[in-house]
Amino acid sequence: MRIRSLTCATLIACVFAAGACGGDTTEQADVQRVDVTKLDSGSYPTAPIDVEQTRTDQSGAAREAIRIGAATPLMSDIDNRYIYQNPGYRTRVITPKTPPSLKAVDRSEFDTVAPGLVAGWFTQGQRRKEFSVGSEVLVYVLRFSDASHASAAVKELIERVPGDSISIPGYPEARTRHNAHTEFGINYLSTGLAHGEMALLVQINDPISRPFAPGPPADLTKRSFDKLIDMLRQYTPTPIDKVSALPLDMDGMLSRTVPLDDNNKSVDGSDPSGVYPAQALLHSEQDPNSARSAYTDAGVDYAAAVGALVLRAKDSAATTRLLAAISSPVATEYDKADSPANLPEAKCFKPKEGPGKSPMDKPVCYFAFDRYVAQVSSKNVQDLQQKTAAQYKLLAYGR
């Protein structure tokens, strides 16, 4: 399992190993005595920015999407067989300008087919690390301007999908398309349910089951709706006229995180930068159950994600365990890399050379400061060292 590059664009957090804990508590004390004047941060900014100056017409919607994500269950919460998530999905945040690309409905036509989208969230789970040897479930939680738009969206989005209609136990109003004979050889069940102003879409893809009988996927869809509706009780929709003004930062965390550079911006124009509650962040973990254990142990409440990921633990002592949980799995799969000059406390790694190396594999550094653990990645080790130094300076600024 490889650690993928972490930026706001990918929002792939960390891969955790069960039982990864411990560490030298003296290192935590030493890291606070770093002389920041001796750190080479290159051209990276080292002073907190005014995040409000970066606001766009989609920033409020992205923040509302994160609020929805914090009330959306993981697939492993719905069915404990779906314990893996695919890091290839680049962002979970859905906004009117970056709507989902669904079966039979492309992004470019989404607003025409399903107008009134306010914000939404995407999550995914699969039974095996490799999709081709197990089924996966895709879940979209979409908020529309009102219940009538949500109902119309479900109707249009599902009826465009080829297949037969089947019944979902307990949800006679759900719209479905079941297809066991696709041209791609992947069986699927696509289902939509309007729940107030929310449109809940669940798609089960199964490349291996023969035959693909409707009973088991219909049951999984029912359980998905049950859990989604239950957890969404935690979500209080922001009035539509106030969405655009939602605050972008939390306790200055985003302003003290390295900004996204042009080389790492998403090609689709999405900008999921923000401060994520732990539950929302878990949706981007390849191994969310192990990540949840590490987050719970360290008391992680929020994480800022832009050009780096900065996790906030309950106290400085907890960061020792969190740092070990994040970095230990990487140490077994990557080669050790040089830490930034005058910042030896940073744990840095680079991908092993060889035929198994992926273009997505990039060098990465981890360090702890006060209540925070930072994960920084970049295109090469030299740039990574400067970027990591800049991230340290941002956390240490004014202290």
Q: What is the mean pLDDT of the chain?
A: 88
Among 122-136, 302-316, 372-386, the range scoring the smallest mean pLDDT is 122-136
Residue 182 binned pLDDT confidence (cut-offs 50, 70, 90): low
Which parts of the chain are beta strand (E)? 93-94, 117-126, 136-144, 175-179, 187-195, 198-206, 274-277, 302-305, 309-312, 334-337, 347-351, 364-369, 372-377
Higher pLDDT, 357 or 221: 221
Q: What is the C-alpha separation between 32 and 27, in angstroms, rounded?
A: 9
Whether the Cβ atoms of residue 217 and residue 189 lie closer than 8 Å to each other: yes
- Give CA–CA dist 343/399, Å, rounded: 17
Q: How far apart are CA 6 and CA 340, in angstroms?
A: 18
Q: How many helices (H) and strands (E) does the chain have?
A: 11, 13
How high is the pLDDT of residue 130? 77
Q: Domain residues of the chain, as ranges?
A: 25-55+248-396, 60-234
User: Could you tell me which residue, 86 or 12, shows the higher pLDDT?
Assistant: 86
Q: What pLDDT sits at residue 132? A: 72
Does the pLDDT at position 11 exceed 60? no
pLDDT at 265 over 70: no
* Closest among 326, 263, 322 to 298, alpha carbons compared: 322
| Sign of torsion over alpha carbons 278, 280, 282, 285 | negative
pLDDT band at 70 (very low <50, low <70, confident <90, very high): very high
- CATH fold of 60-234: Protein Transport Mog1p; Chain A (3.40.1000)
User: pTM for the full model?
Assistant: 0.89
In this prediction, residues 247-268 reach a mean pLDDT of 84
Mean pLDDT over 78-95 rounds to 86
Separation CA 308–CA 251 (nearest Å):
17
Residue 194 has pLDDT above 60, yes or no: yes
% of residues, the chain, pLDDT over 90 = 73
Sign of CA dihedral 291, 292, 294, 295: positive
Whether pLDDT at 27 is above 70 = no
Contacts (Cβ under 8 Å, ≥6 apart) of 88: none
**Per-residue b or e along 2-28, where b marks 16 or more CB atoms closer than 10 Å to that residue's CB:** bbbbbbbbbbbbbbbbeebbebeeeeb
Q: Please give the sequence-ordered ranges of beta strands (E in DSSP) within 257-325, or none if there are none.
A: 274-277, 302-305, 309-312
Q: For position 286, what pLDDT does the model report?
A: 87
Q: Per-residue pLDDT averaged across 267-283, rounded? A: 84
Q: Is residue 28 pLDDT above 80, yes or no?
A: no
pLDDT (tens digit per residue) in 303-337: 999 999 999 999 999 999 999 999 988 988 899 99
pLDDT of residue 279: 96
What is the rounded CA–CA span in Å between residue 119 and residue 240? Answer: 10
In this structure, what are the phi and psi dihedrals at residue 286, rounded to the nearest 5 degrees?
A: -70, -30
pLDDT of the residue at 20: 33
Assign 21 a pLDDT band (cuts: 50, 70, 90).
Answer: very low
Residue 204 per-residue DSSP state: E
Residue 9 is predicted with a pLDDT of 43
Q: Are 120 and 65 in contact (CB under 8 A)?
A: yes
Max Cα separation, the chain?
Answer: 66
Q: Is the pLDDT of residue 26 over 60?
A: no
Q: Specify which residues 200 forms β-bridges with.
A: 141, 193
- 98 phi/psi in degrees, rounded to 5: -130, 70
Contact 363/381 with Cβ under 8 angstroms? yes
Cβ neighbors of 65 (< 8 A, separation 6 or more) are: 92, 93, 94, 95, 119, 120, 121, 272
Lowest model confidence (mean pLDDT) among 109-113, 146-150, 189-193, 284-288? 284-288
Residue 293 clears pLDDT 50, i.e. is over it: yes
Q: What is the pLDDT of residue 83?
A: 93
